[in-house]
Structure 1
Amino acid sequence: MPTTFKDYYATLGVPRTATAKEIHSAFRKLARKHHPDVNQGDKQAEQRFKEINEAHEVLGDPDKRKKYDELGPRWQEYEQWERAGRPGPNPFQAGPQFEYRTVSPDELEDLFGDSAPFSDFFETFFGGGGARGFRAGASRAGTRRRPALRGEDVEGETEISLEEAFRGTTRTVELSENGHRKRVEISIPAGIQDAARVRAVGQGSAGSGGAGAGDLYVRVRVRPHPNFTRDGATLRTKVQVPLQTAIAGGTVAVPTLRGSAVHLTVPPGTQNGARLRLRGLGMPHVRGDGAGDLIAEMDVRLPVPVPEELRSWAEQAIRH
């Protein structure tokens, strides 16, 4: 029965001009998607996983890929040469041998038993433990192991107040994987920006074949505050200033995220909308020491009702 030709480039979804890096990247993406540990009991995914590994076994090896590319439409001639007992030198041999394997047939047998991990096409041209032009990789002679695939990263989101962002806080994230639940406590640093991500190394999905787990990334959303706005490490707030204080000078209380107000000196003749800077009372710097500044914007207010003496003073000032 003739062997069916396998288009390994189509299997991995890459062009024939693909680089080794592009081939390996496509393999990893597809292998994760169709891995038996992720698709337990899915026969179609199991078969697809075998095909993906077979394609990478050839295209991921420079010598095997060269031989595969050179065969082209002559692969049937090669099969006939094999069946004839290989008379004379191999007319299809391409270059020196090179041992490299990411997932070997033995490793696939650990996953699938005796259910033909590689196709007849592969066995015709590349199989047989190296008897047909390519030696098996070192993993065939060593300890059998499952393909090592790092676990997927997991992403989530949480919300905190501006006060929590100011002093730093923690959040507990609950994850579920394959019916198992676990809780992960993440530390949110003081000064964190809205939409920044916090990383918990090794707390993502479990890996396979002895590979490490992925990471957990939690995006932190900081709720708007009724009294403060933020620009990086700089905080801004409005402070009500009585007209008398704005004219004659004095002090006003300015709220801070520390929980207590500070007294700010207002110079005589302060205009409405004037901005005064309180250094070091803004948001902490996530990396490095110190903090930003707090900008207090003066909101000059007339007293209600307006005292008679103030009205008289204003009228005289207008006349002069």
Structure 2
Amino acid sequence: MARIGRISVDALDERQLDEVRHSVRQERDAEANKPLSVAIMGQTGVGKSSLLNVLFGTELPVGDARQVTGKPHAITVPGNSGHKLTFWDMPGMGEPSGADVDSMAMYLERISESDVVIWAIHADSWSGAAETRCLDALLARVDLDLRRQVASKLTFVLTKADTLTPPPWIFDMRGTRGSFIPSPPLAARLERKAAHFEKAVVEPWAELLRASTYNTGEFAVSDDRLSYDKNAVHYRGHFSEAVREAYAAAHPRHAPVFARLRDNHRVLPCSALFRFNLVQLMVSVVNKLGPTAIFRFQRLLDDAAGLAGVPVASMREYGNFLVWDGVRGVKAFDLERFPL
């Protein structure tokens, strides 16, 4: 006998069943149309607003002249999918207004209430000390459950990867558009940076971390650190690349699940200007969301393919070199003059 809540389906007439179905649809639609709540953290100047603008089609002000707010400011705008997006504009970590006890409480509140929390770190850095200090301050005064919730919700990204040259970037041109790809030496450099920051800001919290992803209903692995139900799969600890490789080798049938769990704790280099790795960032965010939030973010994921393309005309503006022959007083090389 099927049951809906505490109601036996057999005990309902057709009219009552229609009412129940209508109620379920209303709840689903209400969940699907709730504003998406995104918080982005990081030090001033790492490109937080630029990243949000490209990812979600917003028009948040950018630039060093933008006033730093002392308190979080909610901005609700339509995203590029037509879905409402609530962006929490917060003080830059490391600013005086972002360092005291009240500010730490503010960050904790925003993290707890947001669907997505992106922590941006400038790619042209090797330290991680400022991020570690801020994490220590965030988690020092809260109970264990909240520490686990906060630590597991963060998605770390290395922004402004376009500033890392040399080695060069490659522009893969396909007609009037193309994609920026790091050359093999630069890709290796980005991988080293990502691994460094994962070790610095993710690995120290291994015992607090929980990795989660959606379950398509076929996952079944018996393991002390893994748990699952019909909707989700969870892992207790830091889901490192070594952990992913070990599970994928032991259970190849479930390799896609382990890849999604890995996305929870991967540090991802990206560039808003070059639109580099933005699709992967959106996929990583969706992979770690719960079932209801996934339904709301699916529209954004459906539009993610459009994040990668860059017009050839824009590419020319990003990387033109003009070589001037000072002896002869003429241009020796100008990329704009070469047909593509």
Would you call these one fold, judging by a TM-score over 0.5? no
Superposition TM-score, scaled by structure 1 size: 0.22
Superposition TM-score, scaled by structure 2 size: 0.21
**More helix, by proportion:** 2
